[in-house]
Amino acid sequence: MPSKAAYAPLGHDGRHPHSSSSSIWDRRRIFIILAICASGLLVFSFLWPPSYDSIKQTAQSTIDKIGPKLDVFKDSTQQYPWVGAGKVHPLAKDVVLMIKTGHSVIYDRVPMHLVWPRPDIPNRFVYSDVALEIGNHQVIDALANASAHVKSKDEYKEYIRLNTLFQNHAPIASTHDGWMLDKWKFAPMTAHAWRNNRKAKWFVTIDGDTYIFWGTLMRWLATYESSKSLYLGYDEIGYGAIKYYFGHGGAGYILSQKLMDDIFTDDPEGLQLESKGEFTGWPCGDCAFGVIIGNMPGRGKHLDGGADLFQHDGSDVLVFRKRLWHSYLISLHHSSAANLMDLREFEEKLLPTLPEWDGVRYCDIWEGFSPAFLREPYAKYKEALALEAEDPVKKLNLNHSVVAPGWKSGDVDKEGCDWNCAKQKGVPFDEVHCAKFCEDNPKCFGWLMSKTDCTLSINGWRIGHPAPAGQTWTSGWRLDRIAAVEREMPCKNTTLRADADERGHGVGAGRSSLERTGLDDGWVLPPKGVKNQPQPLPPAETEPGKENKPSAAEVAAAAAKAAADQVVAPVLSRIDIPLRIPDM
């Protein structure tokens, strides 16, 4: 058994801790400590609670210290970022935003939409295939009250799988069936939004990985009348038994109050809508919905506006053109969580610096999202032009091009020369001569080279992205020609931005990625008062005096659709299950 000395308190060096003299001194020390504590409590009782002025002074001192670290762009005299072009537009209260997603990907996308306070989007709904909450935001299960018609589909098995895994707290991996299930959300979620917002003027639908420049959208929508039947967005084209057009869901599409009323007044829960043969026959919900809208009385195949404003891809493949330099940009698709964060931070910094009537333009994206290896030499080239240097390449030792190995920029209005073409020209097939092909074409803004091809970007250019693994790409950009566009049409020139508004944005149907429209060849800045031309429609739809008779395939498809409508008509009643889609 160890001796007592082994348990002695630290500092007693093994001696017995108790003696008569030390005991008396210990008691005195205890009395002194108690007296000091009592005095402190007495003083504290007179000082607590602190006055409001002292609290305010302390809090303000703390804010003054950390404020610059929290937000270096904040102006203490303004309510950042809701000033300038960031000011909440009066139309915002009359617009509904529907964010459509799926549970297998929801956490990769939707939280970034909800992390910022958005008083400019007061009517925002998130629809998925599993009901849950993210923070204080409710995610609505769009299929909670699925009809017998929907439950009879093979895709509904995916809904059961997702909810079973969710209730068992099990990991949920995405599958192709999730994309097939997605199409059955369109009718119930759009009907739900309409029922709960009968006075809304516009209904906007986007995917979870779509970023939308909301304030810019409000300013554009204010130029339209919601009392008209309007379907706006990216006029996508699809090919099946017949060619069809629809508003691309990833780019975002918009339905006016009049069009929504026409669809849902006699079908408030969307039962007749979802039972139409298009939702069974087409693989995607946005295309099925678009075909149905296109077949409504008085409507045509195409959308009513939005060309060039809505993008079905990200900023890396956005096409920058002289014609679109000051055009609005409303949406970008295929955005990662990091992309969504970058876009919101970019918008919060940009909008307060612009006039209240202004919005996000193509040129703003070029300035904000060009990679450093492009942005820095481009800035130097612009400075050189501003100094009116006759030849920046020679006088300031600048390069007129930037070349990036391992980077895939993409082509625009493609013109190319492969190895066989180079052989016929009698030159080596290499980057030097690919760049020379671009130099020889005054409309070329860049080039892209692989092991087998050299393609030129004509009438425009893209930023691009790192080359996919296992692929060999090299990209080049003509800084001198890009800088010449900026010199002629400065991005932040408010007169030019206002003139672009007067010409009109997103006029008519069209696709932002459509090449060779004929609008860019020889385009010059038009005189004030001249309106923008819409994109040309396919020749078969614009030739006057010719009747467009349906093809045999179209007749067969119409017959199949009619038969499908008859079959599903008796099963429109909903199954009696607990209500999980709340009507507000």
pLDDT at 584: 57
Do residues 232 and 303 lie in contact, with contact meaning Cβ atoms separated by under 8 Å?
yes
What are the distances in angstroms from CA 166 to CA 99, 172, 215?
Answer: 20, 7, 36
- 3 state DSSP class of 414: coil
Dist CA 103 CA 436 (whole Å): 50
pLDDT at 117: 87
Q: Give the count of beta carbons closer than 10 Å to the beta carbon of residue 308.
A: 27
Nearest to 200 by CA among 155, 251, 261: 261
Q: Give the count of beta carbons closer than 10 Å to the beta carbon of residue 3.
A: 8
Dist CA 1 CA 515 (whole Å): 93
Do residues 235 and 511 lie in contact, with contact meaning Cβ atoms separated by under 8 Å?
yes
As separate numbers, helices (DSSP H) first and strands (DSSP E) second, the chain gives 22, 18
Dist CA 353 CA 349 (whole Å): 7
Q: Which residues pair with residue 256 across a beta bridge?
A: 202
Question: What does the DSSP 8-state code read for residue 270?
Answer: S
pLDDT at 174: 78
Q: Which single residue is written with the structure tokens 């006759």? A: 390
Q: Give the count of beta carbons closer than 10 Å to the beta carbon of residue 105.
A: 16
H-helix or E-strand spanning residue 575: none
Let me know the angle formed at the C-alpha of 310 by 304 and 316, rounded to the nearest 5 degrees: 155
Nearest to 433 by CA among 424, 422, 423: 422
pLDDT of 382-425, one tens digit each? 887 777 756 666 666 678 899 999 999 988 998 988 888 988 88
Do residues 309 and 506 lie in contact, with contact meaning Cβ atoms separated by under 8 Å?
yes
- 3 state DSSP class of 257: helix
Dist CA 478 CA 400 (whole Å): 6
pLDDT at 59: 37
**Residues near 63 by beta carbon (within 8 Å), at least 6 away in sequence:** none
Q: What is the pTM of this model?
A: 0.79
Per-residue pLDDT of the chain (584 residues; tens, 9 = 90+): 433 333 223 233 333 333 444 444 455 566 666 666 666 555 445 545 544 344 334 434 433 433 333 333 334 344 678 999 999 999 999 999 999 999 999 999 999 999 988 999 999 999 999 999 999 999 999 999 999 999 999 999 999 999 999 999 998 887 777 778 999 999 999 999 999 999 999 999 999 999 999 999 999 999 999 999 999 999 998 876 678 899 999 999 999 999 999 999 999 999 999 999 999 988 899 999 999 999 999 998 999 999 999 999 999 999 999 999 999 999 999 999 999 999 999 999 999 999 999 999 999 999 999 999 999 999 888 887 777 756 666 666 678 899 999 999 988 998 988 888 988 888 999 999 999 999 999 999 999 999 999 999 999 999 999 999 999 999 999 999 999 999 999 999 999 999 999 999 999 998 887 878 889 988 999 998 899 989 887 665 543 433 333 444 443 444 444 444 433 333 333 333 233 444 55
Dist CA 387 CA 369 (whole Å): 25
pLDDT at 113: 94
Dist CA 255 CA 127 (whole Å): 17
Beta-strand relationship, 401-405 and 474-478 = antiparallel
Do residues 572 and 272 lie in contact, with contact meaning Cβ atoms separated by under 8 Å?
yes
Q: Which single residue is written with the structure tokens 């209904």? A: 203
H helix runs in 91-231, sequence order: 106-109, 111-114, 148-151, 156-167, 176-182, 186-195, 214-221
Boundaries of every domain in the chain: 19-72, 79-361+553-584, 362-490
Which burial class, exposed, middle or buried, applies to 422 when counting CB atoms under 10 A from its CB (0-12, 13-18, 19+)? middle
Do residues 232 and 226 lie in contact, with contact meaning Cβ atoms separated by under 8 Å?
no
362-490 CATH pick, 3.10.20.30, 1.25.10.10, 3.40.50.300, 3.50.4.10:
3.50.4.10
